[in-house]
């Protein structure tokens, strides 16, 4: 028997995770001298977080240490359960090196147990929509092998596009050079970002102005949405009016789209900053970013 778990960097809202019976690993972030753990919004003070960031606070994210992973996973092993962990992109964090250390320790104590980790090669609800699909398959009776097979094909159909409002947040996170961030700010550039097939953050398109960027986000959903049985997630980092406007653009043109509106959490918000807005949906294929010389790191 196995249990299915995910992590909070997939941003699947806590009520949906609870409905699916899906356990999520809380992921740490800090600001104002305190460390918090994101719990998919259940006890998260979004307003306090974004108010602090808008006031100049620089939040940070961090990896879980091996001991924390041991505490999370050992109860399952003790209970005689294997684990299937559907995770956010391994290319975006060193936390998975710590997970490997923890698993090597656990395997010495529980040699008959195993933890299979599936890399969604995405983040935010690009990972969350895959976690949701995995839980639906699990609840329908699929085996771990069947889930991984279906997820492997599904992963390459998940489209994620988002636009940041302030390039300096990407610069602080090491995703954009200081020169590029400064120049982009002067030119009012709003680069549309995506996640490539390796799970790294990349530039998809360079756009001037937020209004045009919102229309381009809508265009991608309108033109590319094929998986209408899945939700279309429209997410915003403390800019709900823009999120609602974007959702309306999509539903006006694609009434078959099942829109779910959601706020970006503090872990993702620490990197992208307030004013970020994005869409996540199921298409025929994953977006192809610009050539490597236009990447934002990763």
State the pLDDT at residue 191: 80
State the pLDDT at residue 294: 41
Rounded distance between C-alpha atoms, residue 194 and residue 199, angstroms: 9
CA count, 13 A, side-chain hemisphere, 45: 8
State the pLDDT at residue 271: 87
- The answer to whether residue 206 scores a pLDDT higher than 70 is yes
Burial of 15 (0-12, 13-18, 19+ CB in 10 A): exposed
Angle at 68 between CA 63 and CA 37, to 5 degrees: 60
- The answer to whether residue 295 scores a pLDDT higher than 50 is no
State the pLDDT at residue 179: 33
Longest dimension (CA), the chain: 58
State the pLDDT at residue 227: 97
Average pLDDT, the chain: 90
CA count, 13 A, side-chain hemisphere, 60: 7
Give me the helix-helix angle, 240-253 and 210-224, nearest 10°: 40
State the pLDDT at residue 210: 87
State the pLDDT at residue 70: 98
State the pLDDT at residue 15: 97
pTM of the model: 0.91
Per-residue pLDDT of 170-197, as tens digits, reads 545 444 444 333 334 434 567 888 999 9
State the pLDDT at residue 167: 59
Domains for the chain: give ranges and CATH numbers: 2-155 (3.40.50.10170), 158-294 (3.30.1180.10)
Q: Are 207 and 192 in contact (CB under 8 A)?
A: yes
Per-residue pLDDT of 18-66, as tens digits, reads 999 999 999 999 999 999 999 999 999 999 999 999 999 999 999 999 9
DSSP state of 159: E
Per-residue pLDDT of 230-278, as tens digits, reads 999 999 999 999 999 999 999 999 999 999 999 999 999 998 899 999 9
Please say whether the dihedral angle defined by the alpha carbons of residues 7, 9, 14 and 16, taken in this order, is positive or negative.
negative
Rounded distance between C-alpha atoms, residue 110 and residue 27, angstroms: 25
Q: Are 203 and 296 in contact (CB under 8 A)?
A: yes
- Percentage above 90 pLDDT, the chain: 81
State the pLDDT at residue 272: 87
State the pLDDT at residue 205: 87
Q: Are 277 and 57 in contact (CB under 8 A)?
A: no
DSSP state of 208: B
Mean pLDDT on 5-11: 98
Per-residue tokens: 5? 């778990």
**Which helix (H) or strand (E) is 119 found in, with range?**
strand 115-119
Residue (of 176, 140, 136) closest to 297 by Cα position: 176
């Amino acid at each position: 028997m196995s249990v299915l778990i995910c992590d909070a960097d997939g941003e699947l809202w806590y009520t949906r995770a609870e409905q699916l019976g899906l356990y999520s690993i809380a992921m740490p972030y800090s600001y104002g001298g305190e460390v918090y753990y994101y719990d998919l919004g259940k006890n998260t003070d979004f307003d306090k977080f974004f108010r602090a960031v808008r006031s100049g606070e620089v939040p940070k994210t961090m990896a879980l240490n091996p001991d924390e992973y041991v505490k999370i996973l050992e109860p399952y092993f003790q209970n005689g359960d294997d684990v299937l962990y559907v995770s956010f992109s391994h290319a975006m964090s060193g936390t998975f090196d710590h997970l490997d250390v923890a698993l090597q320790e656990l395997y010495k104590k529980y040699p008959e147990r195993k933890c299979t980790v599936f890399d969604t090669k995405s983040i935010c609800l690009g990972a969350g929509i895959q976690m949701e699909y995995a839980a639906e398959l699990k609840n329908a009776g699929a085996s771990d092998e069947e889930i991984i097979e279906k997820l492997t094909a599904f992963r390459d159909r998940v489209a994620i596009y988002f636009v940041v409002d302030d390039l300096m947040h990407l610069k602080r996170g090491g995703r954009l050079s200081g020169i590029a961030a400064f120049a982009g700010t002067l030119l009012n550039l709003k680069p549309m970002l995506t996640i490539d097939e390796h799970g790294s953050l990349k530039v998809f398109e360079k756009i001037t102005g937020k209004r045009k960027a919102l229309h381009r986000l809508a265009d991608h959903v309108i033109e590319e949405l094929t998986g209408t049985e899945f939700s279309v997630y429209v997410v915003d980092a403390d800019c709900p009016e823009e999120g609602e406007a974007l959702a309306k653009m999509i539903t006006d043109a694609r009434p078959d789209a099942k829109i779910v509106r959601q706020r970006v959490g503090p872990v993702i918000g620490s990197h992208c900053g307030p004013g970020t807005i994005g869409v996540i949906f199921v298409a025929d294929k994953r977006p192809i970013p610009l050539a490597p010389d236009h990447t934002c790191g990763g």
